[in-house]
Amino acid sequence: MPDASPTKWHLAHTTWFFETVVLAPVLDGYRPFDAQYAYLFNSYYEGLGPRHPRPLRGLLSRPSLDEVIAYRRHVDNAMRELLADLDEDHPSAARTILGLNHEQQHQELILTDIKHAFFSNPMLPAYLPGQLKGIVRALSPAWAHFPGGVVRIGHEGPGFAFDNESPRHDVLLRPFRLALHPVTCGQYQDFMADGGYCRPELWLSDGWVLKEREGWTAPLYWLQRDSGWHVFTLHGLRPLNPAEPIVHVSFYEAAAYAAWAGERLPTEFEWEAVAQQQPVAGRLLDVNRLQPGASVGEAAVEQIYGDVWEWTRSSYDPYPGYKPFDGELAEYNGKFMIGQTVLRGGSCATPRNHIRSSYRNFFPPSARWQFSGIRLAGDA
């Protein structure tokens, strides 16, 4: 999988980010741990020099894990020294906070990459020991209605946000409905049983071509066994629980499901208008379940944060007046603003203090290895 990286690489890369973005510019006489690491562990910053090609990351048997841990310790010590007497308004403070948010993003990627690597192993090893419990409860589609109108979208302090969440601006929305719960595996099975993967009229053209080429007939990580569908999780292979939210679908599958259901996906603005009203709570990384869980079934919009990232019907375009971060950090988000689709709300692998209502995640519409799911919307 060319999009995935080994855990050792993630550890070294986040370390390199602190070294390069925080330490090197300010710490007098800071000596890089190893000059070659800049080449090995730069992910995509053209402004920071040439890089080791992404698909070759898996070949790096050197430096060893011990050496990477020593690298981390070296940078941790320098960070401690720097932070010891750092004023809150110092530019390095903001860069440190960015480094921490960057590392949180990689914490989620470590889990999704491990999940994919373990699934690629015919032995299907489990990452977490023990049995995973899940309730089984059937839910009918249900909706909350919203009036639309002019809505304030985007981040406006206090606290950290990425550049792509700014500037805060007004968006005009028509009245809309939003589903109370994410689509469940059981509902998705109805779509499959009704020929969902065989009916081109439900699919976007690029999605249909990709589905045909890849031979998709179910979400990623679903395996048919004699006793029925099973799902590979970080706890190993388990029988499918129809009450749990569907996860590991591409945007194409999400859009096809919505077309089949006679509904649509929400725009990112509709989503944010609703999420602004809710506190951040739910099945996030700290719960350490690492697998979406079933809805409680309340008569309110539920699971807006956590469980699964929700594909929106919004291409990842810049906000009006958007300005990227300064200097080499301009590459952090801005250069990816084409060909990607926005996801919202965080997943069971997202750190709790990393997510917020204005947070814009984005992946190509073909991506399936993130914890990506579906929430429906409709016109009022």
The first and second tokens of residue 318, run together, are 């810049």
Least distance (Å) from its own copies to the CB of residue 130?
18
| Segment near its own copies (CB under 8 A); pick from 55-63, 97-105, 138-146, 296-304 | 55-63
Least distance (Å) from its own copies to the CB of residue 90?
26
262 binds its own copies (CB under 8 A): no
286 binds its own copies (CB under 8 A): no
214 binds its own copies (CB under 8 A): no
User: Beta strand pairing status for 309-315 and 372-373?
Assistant: parallel
207 binds its own copies (CB under 8 A): yes
Residue 98: left if φ>0, alpha if ψ -120 to 50, beta else—which one? alpha
330 binds its own copies (CB under 8 A): yes
What is the spatial distance between Cα 70 and Cα 47, in angstroms, rounded to a whole number?
A: 26
83 binds its own copies (CB under 8 A): no
Identify which of 157, 144, 139, 140 has the alpha carbon closest to the alpha carbon of residue 277: 144
Interacting residue with its own copies among 2, 25, 31, 46 (CB under 8 A) = 46
**C-alpha neighbours within 13 Å on the C-beta side of residue 158:** 0
Which residues touch 299 (CB under 8 Å, ≥6 apart)?
A: 142, 180
267 binds its own copies (CB under 8 A): yes
313 binds its own copies (CB under 8 A): yes
| Segment near its own copies (CB under 8 A); pick from 12-20, 42-50, 90-98, 347-355 | 42-50
The first and second tokens of residue 226, run together, are 């004699």
Using DSSP, state whether 261 is helix, strand or coil. helix
Size of the chain in residues: 380
Least distance (Å) from its own copies to the CB of residue 321?
6
Interacting residue with its own copies among 25, 49, 81, 120 (CB under 8 A) = 120
Shorter beta-carbon distance to its own copies: residue 150 or 193: 150
56 binds its own copies (CB under 8 A): yes
What is the spatial distance between Cα 306 and Cα 299, in angstroms, rounded to a whole number?
A: 18
239 binds its own copies (CB under 8 A): no
Shorter beta-carbon distance to its own copies: residue 135 or 174: 174
Measure the CA angle with vertex 354, ends 358 and 291; round to 5°: 105
Site residues (CB under 8 A) for its own copies, limited to 126-185 = 150, 169-174
Sheet holding 143-146, edge to edge: 143-146, 176-179, 377-379
Site residues (CB under 8 A) for its own copies, limited to 336-365 = 336-339, 341, 365
What is the spatial distance between Cα 361 and Cα 351, in angstroms, rounded to a whole number?
A: 14
| Segment near its own copies (CB under 8 A); pick from 94-102, 139-147, 286-294, 310-318 | 310-318
Shorter beta-carbon distance to its own copies: residue 185 or 255: 255
Cα end-to-end span (Å), the chain: 41
12 binds its own copies (CB under 8 A): no
Q: Are 357 and 346 in contact (CB under 8 A)?
A: no
| Segment near its own copies (CB under 8 A); pick from 75-83, 121-129, 186-194, 279-287 | 121-129
Name 264's bridge partners.
377
Please name the residue ranges forming H helices in 242-327: 251-261, 268-275
Least distance (Å) from its own copies to the CB of residue 125?
5
Shorter beta-carbon distance to its own copies: residue 61 or 227: 61
Q: Binding-site residue total for its own copies (CB under 8 A)? A: 58
Which residues touch 369 (CB under 8 Å, ≥6 apart)?
A: 1, 3, 4, 112, 113, 115, 116, 220, 248
44 binds its own copies (CB under 8 A): yes
What is the spatial distance between Cα 222 and Cα 233, in angstroms, rounded to a whole number?
A: 10
Q: Which residues bind its own copies (CB under 8 A)?
A: 36, 39-40, 44, 46-47, 52, 56, 58-63, 117-118, 120-123, 125, 150, 169-174, 200-201, 203-208, 251-252, 255, 267, 313-318, 320-321, 330-331, 335-339, 341, 365, 379
